[in-house]
Amino acid sequence: MAIAFKSPTTSFFQLKKNNPETHSFLRFSTQRFATPARRFTPMSAISTVPTVGLSETFTRLKKQGKVAFIPYITAGDPDLSTTAEALKVLDSCGSDIIELGVPYSDPLADGPVIQAAATRSLARGTNYNAIISMLKEVIPQLSSPIALFSYYNPILKRGVEQFMSAIKDVGVHGLVVPDVPLEETEILRREASKHGIELVLLTTPTTPTERMKAIVEAAEGFVYLVSSIGVTGARASVSDRVPTLLQDIKAATTKPVAVGFGISKPEHVKQVVGWGADGVIVGSAMVKLLNEAKSPEEGLKELEVFTKSLKAALE
Amino acid sequence: MACNMRTDLLISQICPTSGHVSVKRRIGNASVVRAVVVDHNSLVKNIIGSTSSLIMKRPTLPNPQLVEETDNERKGCKGKFGRFGGKFVPETLISCLSNLEAEFNLVLHDAQFQAELATALRDYVGRETPLYFAERLTNHYKKNNNGEGPEIYLKREDLNHGGAHKINNAIAQAMIAKRLGRKSIVAATGAGQHGVATAAACAKLSLQCTIFMGTKDMEKQSSNLVLMKLLGAEVKSVDGNFKEATSEAFREWVGNLESSYYLTGTVVGPHPCPSMVREFQSVIGKETRRQAMDKWGGKPDVLVACVGSGSNALGLFHEFIKEKDVRLIGVEAGGFGLESDKHSATLAKGDVGVYHGTMSYLLQDEEGQIIRPHSVGVGLEYPAVGPELSFLKDTGRAEYYSVTDKEALNACQMLCRLEGIIPSLEASHALAFLNKLCPTLPTGTKVVVNCSGRGDKDAEMILNHKYYPMEKQFPASQNS
């Protein structure tokens, strides 16, 4: 299924240069089918969903000897239309998988940056249906698969089956639920499997080896290695336990392993790649950038620059 | 008598790793314990309207929903009470929780630990707390009901060191933290009682103490804030109230797993927290049994306790759960009324979800976002409730009602004036329910109300309450 998904960055720049007046992002959103075939071959312009899921993405990248770049942003911060644009920016800048966080009132696994993003998003009235509608519009325009990041209670409230079915319908490929330990994942795994959603599981520095083995056995899409003991948030350096943890996991499974929590600089990315990770996840740094920008448009521009710098570190 | 609890817990540890040991208990000719689920919403509506004969005995609905309980479910085997409980936390915490569970099981059978704890409870906390016959309160209800009515006893948890039942658990867990070699404690507090208890225990055991408290709560319970600081705790403020403070304490704990110990104050949270707190609070019920036997040669007939997240209620109830002839009544915070959105009546108005690590009833909106609750009793402002209490609701073993802020404030002042005891606003909720309960009970019934804390922290707020200031309604000259 090797339809040309990846956009050559040169043509992206060219279009931007040709239209200095017009805001390039707005232009893309209004003329999606009129854009030159920089991204889509005519065939994929007809299909509504990128067909490649998380595992397949990793398989493809591995063949190319590449490491996956996986950014995370919170839906609805500063607002859903910016999120829609941000998804496109991240996609066009070479993200391989994109994690999208569903805002929750009590995000226990998240540090101050992502907590604040969730609060802002909820204050704006972001809700599940709005996120689904937005994804329905945007996912067909993306080449990277989306993995949703959601706490358990909102999923339960909706009903696990309905949740899985709804996200599958709009083209989401994967799901990460940070507050459900392996023992409690039975229902999630069953419904995810039934609906073709890849349920990513997390392992951490405190997870004993035997338990880690059970987790990686059950994980789909990829294994999420939490790099440090604590909540999300940028740190000065990536924990030096990561190399050993990576080794242990790779001894237990051939599934791809992506490292997340605390990664915020190109140097961090280089380090993690050097240690043998199959993917690198960057969250708080992205969210912070979008929030600290003077305006959503500024934020999107900065996001682009930042994403490219991180992506470059993967080469 | 006291062996019962220990033996039960021993049995629960041998529970099979797969499947249930289903124990069909016999009562009379029935081979299965049939549980009745009471429709609390309609009950509460009736109660608010008038004293209702509905409370006289547990009513049966035309089509009772049966939730059969197995013995293991009831005991919280593997941290589950039926469908409630569990460990819904990030993977990072799982290993730590397993270690905690192992340590908890060890201390339960460690004679030296138990002896040290008993000494601390006696000499430091000030146990046993009296079971006090509230004669004037009893007569007040009898007078209003043609001389008929129950005898009301108060379990004086307000007389504990620190002013509430919280210390029973705080001292025990601080001792466990010390055993585990932790140097610092992190905790969250609502009304401040758990904060004060934890700070005191930490001072006694030479542990560093960090307490998270919501900014809103700090304003309302400022005297407790002062006490915590005096006891050497570092108090960190969190925007919001107890639910935000708890979330933040969790995060602090996750970031410092190796050095710090999260001291939970109530029967919520991931397993083993609810079971641990219940075990340490169950001293309330055990003493009550002994004292009841001494006083009237029998058991209590009705137990009444306020329910925020459930620690004092479970502490009183747990000893008697297996004895169906003892009625268990939990009273939740009705705030401005259940029809308003300003209350904290989780069991009446909530539905089942996952919050702060456990599956239980909680107050959430249609998106599954957690609602911030309200009550004049700050310690009752929690949008969820302990999983074991949720289980008691589903099996019909416990009855739950609610009272409004106004009723609680009235009840507080009534106890002040009739018995010279100042109850906390939280405990006042349990007392307020007596208005509806007593007229339905025949003379000779023994009712024990858990007076879970004293009201010094609330005194100023009670006198100057924005909506129901005390002096305006009950001037000093009035004494009934």
Q: Interhelix angle for B273-281 vs B387-394, to 10°?
A: 80
Residues 6+ apart with CB under 8 A from A112: A233
Report pTM.
0.82
Minimal CA–CA distance to B375: which of B334, B338, B423? B334
Round to whole Å and give the CA distance between B363 and A103: 18
Q: What is the pLDDT of residue B74?
A: 66
Q: What is the pLDDT of residue B63?
A: 37
Contact B453/B193 with Cβ under 8 angstroms?
A: yes
* Nearest Cα residue in chain B from A229: B255
A99 flagged as catalytic: yes
Residues 6+ apart with CB under 8 A from B236: B210, B211, B212, B213, B248
Round to whole Å and give the CA distance between B412 and B408: 6
A110 flagged as catalytic: yes
Contact B209/B229 with Cβ under 8 angstroms?
A: no
Pairing of strands B184-189, B208-214: parallel
Residue B112: is it exposed, middle or buried by C-beta count within 10 angstroms (0-12/13-18/19+)?
exposed
Q: Interhelix angle for B273-281 vs B91-108, to 10°?
A: 30
Round to whole Å and give the CA distance between B373 and B380: 9
Q: pLDDT of B342-367, one tens digit each?
A: 999 999 999 999 999 999 999 999 99
Question: pLDDT tier at A51 (50, 70, 90 boundaries)?
Answer: low
Q: What is the pLDDT of residue A240?
A: 87
Test A179 with B89 for CB contact under 8 angstroms. yes
Helix, strand or coil for residue B303? strand
Round to whole Å and give the CA distance between B433 and B328: 13
Q: What is the pLDDT of residue B257?
A: 85
Round to whole Å and give the CA distance between B474 and A298: 62
* Nearest Cα residue in chain B from A206: B92
Q: Which residues of B touch A183 (CB under 8 A)?
A: 86-87
Test B364 with A153 for CB contact under 8 angstroms. yes
Residue A101 has pLDDT above 70, yes or no: yes
Q: Which residues of A touch B255 (CB under 8 A)?
A: 229-231
Q: Which amino acid is at A47?
A: S
Round to whole Å and give the CA distance between A58 and A62: 6
Test A183 with B357 for CB contact under 8 angstroms. no
B19: left (phi over 0), alpha (psi -120 to 50) or beta: left
Residues 6+ apart with CB under 8 A from B105: B9, B13
Report the complex ipTM.
0.80
Round to whole Å and give the CA distance between A226 and A200: 12
Test mutation, B96, B256, B258, B367, chain A, max A CBs within 10 A: B367
**Cα dihedral sign for B168, B171, B176, B177?**
positive
Instruction: Provide the residue count of chain B.
Output: 480
A5, A22, A34, B139, B441 from A28: Cα distances, Å: 16, 10, 9, 80, 74
Tokens (6 digits) for B409: 């404030």
Test A157 with B366 for CB contact under 8 angstroms. yes
Minimal CA–CA distance to B79: which of B428, B345, B434, B387? B387
In angstroms, how far is CA B431 from the centroid of its own chain?
14
User: Mean per-residue pLDDT for A127-137?
Assistant: 96
User: Mean per-residue pLDDT for A168-180?
Assistant: 96
H/E stretch holding B112 reads helix B111-119
H/E stretch holding B328 reads strand B327-335
Reported for B13-17, long-range contacts at CB under 8 A and 24+ positions apart, including other chains, are B13/B105, B15/B72, B15/B77, B15/B78
B147: left (phi over 0), alpha (psi -120 to 50) or beta: left
B99, B318, B352, B384 from B359: Cα distances, Å: 21, 20, 7, 9
H/E stretch holding B166 reads helix B166-179
Q: What is the pLDDT of residue B16?
A: 36
Minimal CA–CA distance to B180: which of B111, B106, B249, B253? B106
Residue written as tokens 């019909």? Answer: B396
Residues 6+ apart with CB under 8 A from A120: A76, A77, A78, A291
Backbone angles phi and psi of B308, in degrees to 5: -100, -80
Whether omega before B272 lies within 30 degrees of 0, making that bond cis, reads yes
Maximum C-alpha span of chain B: 66
Residues 6+ apart with CB under 8 A from B155: B129, B131, B132, B284, B287, B288, B316, B448, B449, B450, B451
DSSP state of A170: T
Count of helix runs (H) and strand runs (E) in chain A: 15, 8
* Nearest Cα residue in chain A from B371: A105
Q: What is the pLDDT of residue A28?
A: 41
Round to whole Å and give the CA distance between A103 and A100: 9
Round to whole Å and give the CA distance between A50 and A140: 7
Q: Which residues of B touch A215 (CB under 8 A)?
A: 91
The mean of the pLDDT values for chain A is 86
Round to whole Å and give the CA distance between B206 and B336: 43
Spot the catalytic one: A77, A91, A96, A110.
A110
Q: DSSP assignment of A249-313, as one string?
A: HHHH--S-EEEESS--SHHHHHHHHHTT-SEEEE-HHHHHHHHHSSSHHHHHHHHHHHHHHHHHT
Count the neighbouring beta carbons within 10 Å of the beta carbon of residue A200: 23
Residues 191-220 of A with CB under 8 A from B: 201-208, 211, 215
Q: What is the pLDDT of residue A235?
A: 83
Of residues B96, B354, B355, nearest to A206 (C-beta): B96
DSSP state of A113: H
Below-70 pLDDT ranges, chain B: 1-69, 71-77, 466-480
3-state helix, strand, coil in chain B (%, to 5): 45, 15, 35
Q: Chain B: give the shortest CA distance to residue A180, in Å.
A: 5
Q: What is the pLDDT of residue A44?
A: 43
Count of helix runs (H) and strand runs (E) in chain B: 20, 14
Whether omega before B151 lies within 30 degrees of 0, making that bond cis, reads no
Q: pLDDT of A4-49, one tens digit each?
A: 444 444 444 444 444 444 444 444 444 444 444 444 444 444 444 5
Q: Which residues of B touch A108 (CB under 8 A)?
A: 89-90, 247, 250-251, 254, 356-357
